[in-house]
Amino acid sequence: VGFDDMEWWRGKSKAPGRSWAMEITPDGKMSLYAAGLRSPAGQGLVDGKYFYAENQGDWVGSGYMTILNKGDFIGHPAGLVWADKPGSPVLARTEDIYKRVDPRFNQGRIQDDDPKRPYKTLFEVAKEVPGMKTPSVWLPHSVMGTSTSSLIQIPNDDKFGPFGGQVLIGDQGQSRLNRVFLEQIKGDYQGAAFTFREGFESGVLRLEWGNDGSLFVGQTNRGWGSKGQKDFGLERVVWSQKTPFEMKAVRAMPDGFEIEFTKPVNKTAAADPDAYTLTSFIYKYHPVYGSDVVREQTLIADAAIVSADGLKVRLVVDGLRENYIHEINVGDKVTSADSSHNVLHPIAYYTLKHIPDGEKLNVPKRKAKAAGHDHSMMMGSTTAAPAKTAPAANTSAGLKKNQVDKPASWTTIDQTIVVGTSPGLKFDKPELTVKAGSKVKLTFSNTDDMPHNFVVVPAGQAIAVGELAMKMGLAGVKLDHIPNTPKVLFNTKLVGPGSSQTIYFVAPTTPGKYTYVCTVPGHFYVMQGTLIVGK
């Protein structure tokens, strides 16, 4: 999509074919193929079928990959302005979407700030709109990345380990590769996403196989910032010929899931249903940028049945929901047969578009645990919540870190500051100066096309706080990507495109340099400024 000066946060299709996939024949004829794309950064063939990868944004709750057939409408309504043109195979029309979901035109800056505002999900709208489809596999935002990029299928030639036929998909913001297992249920593609490899030197953008079976990874941060700090990079991934202990695949079953491992498991440990934590959730379908996780439910594993060879575990799960994402966490209790290894990447995200037909196992139902699901333990993190230690500087306790109302005791404000954003993950002011102990009113105005926050931390702590925010997993968006740590001195909430928030704080009483940072995953590596506290 494109953007302009009128409601610049809203993606638009201002030229024929914008926000569409186009089909070009060998003799050079081009025609409309499918609509609803927002910001595709990757496409490719999987078993000879056309898939593409999408990024979070307006009308797109999170990144995903999906098969795209001729005539499909995948969700972003901008391109539907061309759907009635000659040669269009798409049946959906703009009014099909806008009569079901309020586009919120002429309301000024829009964001998801009213918990009572009614909403629908993508799959609920898709059930009513002809030709509208939902993603094959969601890639949960912040957890599996922030900027979905290229996808490529792993050849079935054993040159790249035990994952032949599966799909690798890059992420630019978090400098990583994810892995996707696909299966067809009731004629539709769905499957599971896993972390594959992290730590690339820049943002992963393009993937290509070498003649020797290794994978070349082309990288850039192109001004957007990435976890890998280099401006660009080219690295090669080679299989070490050592098979890691991983979840090789997760398959949907009539009453749960079957997990296949790359190596046999410890049968006693893997047969304990309490070793598995399961949660289902989904995203809103609305014109706001991205979405919180919604309708989250903790599920119960009633049984865990290990195959004779120890390579598979069938989980009988109570409460499966079609069209929801199911997080399956094997934690650290499931180990290899000799108990020497934990699962390298213990979390899978299965997009359950359809529950397969078939016989269900007759097992007794178990009661739910008293404790709820803890998303602070996601992404394989076993780090406890940070201990509450004394802050690095006296910030005149008594105010909230996100103090949005002027304190009643304040008769005057010593300093008023307005700070905004600039393109390329930047604040519009690289440096701010305040007097130690002064009363400050600060307004953060987000003129970018993606959400940001404004967080003040001690000097040298921006990356550490950002990495804590990244470990918050699914809870990150709900909590504005603000981790519970004394290193956060004061902050705004997550401010959507075209929106702003004003906060009040007392400047640190210790003079020196502090850092303000956007702690959104991927942003915090580069989106920083310096707060100078003078005497």
| DSSP-derived secondary structure for 105-155 | TTSSS--S--TTS--B-HHHHHTTSTTB---SEEE-TTTS-SSEEEEEEPP
Contact in structure between 326 and 350 (CB atoms under 8 Å): yes
* CA separation for the pair 266, 260 (Å, rounded): 13
What CATH class is the domain 245-361?
Answer: mainly beta
Contacts of 102 (CB under 8 A, 6+ apart): 287
Helix (H) or strand (E) holding 6: none
**pLDDT greater than 60 at residue 26:** yes
Contacts of 404 (CB under 8 A, 6+ apart): 501, 502, 503, 504
Rounded to the nearest 5°, which phi and psi values hold at 465? -70, -40
Q: Which of 427, 423, 414, 388 is nearest to 515 (CA)?
A: 427
**pLDDT greater than 80 at residue 143:** yes
Q: For the chain, what are the domain ranges?
A: 245-361, 415-534
Residue 107's pLDDT band (cuts 50, 70, 90): confident
415-534 has the same fold as 245-361? yes
pLDDT at position 5: 76
426-450 tens-digit pLDDT: 999 999 999 999 999 999 999 887 8
User: Mean pLDDT across the stretch 276-303?
Assistant: 95
pLDDT at position 494: 92
- Which of helix, strand or coil describes residue 273? helix
User: Mean pLDDT across the stretch 188-207?
Assistant: 96
Percent of the chain with pLDDT over 70: 94
User: Mean pLDDT across the stretch 268-281?
Assistant: 97
**pLDDT greater than 70 at residue 133:** yes
User: Mean pLDDT across the stretch 218-231?
Assistant: 85
User: Which residue spans within 172-222 are E strands per DSSP?
Assistant: 176-185, 188-198, 204-209, 215-220
Higher pLDDT, 375 or 248: 248
What CATH class is the domain 415-534?
Answer: mainly beta
**pLDDT greater than 60 at residue 25:** yes
User: Mean pLDDT across the stretch 25-47?
Assistant: 96
Strand 232-237 vs strand 215-220: parallel, antiparallel, or unpaired? Answer: antiparallel
Please, which contacts does 294-298 make with residues 24 or more away whose CB atoms are closer than 8 Å?
A: 294/119, 294/121, 295/121, 295/324, 296/373, 296/474, 297/321, 298/368, 298/372, 298/373
